[in-house]
Amino acid sequence: MGWGRRIGLFAGGLLLLALLALASVILADRAAQPGPPDARILIARAARHHARIRRDSWGVPHILG
């Protein structure tokens, strides 16, 4: 087996190892994500909160409340 082939196999192995590591990190992060929030709870909280958005002379919004 020549040196070029050995280097190619080594580089291919490293690439495969890096792809497997990346896939495991992505899958572990995806599994750790929380579920979607309950919309009824968020709507009930929003109903109790009153906010007013005013813009100054430059058009920058300021949230009051």
Q: Residue 12: is its pLDDT beyond 90?
A: yes
27 pLDDT tier (thresholds 50, 70, 90): very high
- Res. 3 pLDDT band, cuts 50 70 90: confident
Alpha-carbon distance of 61 to 65, in angstroms, equals 13
Task: Indicate the helix (H) or strand (E) that contains 63.
Answer: strand 61-64
Q: How many domains does the chain have?
A: 1
* Mean per-residue pLDDT over the chain, rounded: 93
Write down the pTM of the prediction.
Answer: 0.52
- Please report the pLDDT score of residue 2 as a whole number: 83
Length of the chain (residues): 65
- Amino acid, res. 25: V
Integer Cα distance of 11 and 4 in angstroms: 11
What is the tens place of the pLDDT at every residue in 36-58?
Answer: 999 999 999 888 888 899 999 99
Half-sphere exposure of 41 (CA within 13 A, CB side): 3
- Which domain range does residue 47 map to? 3-64
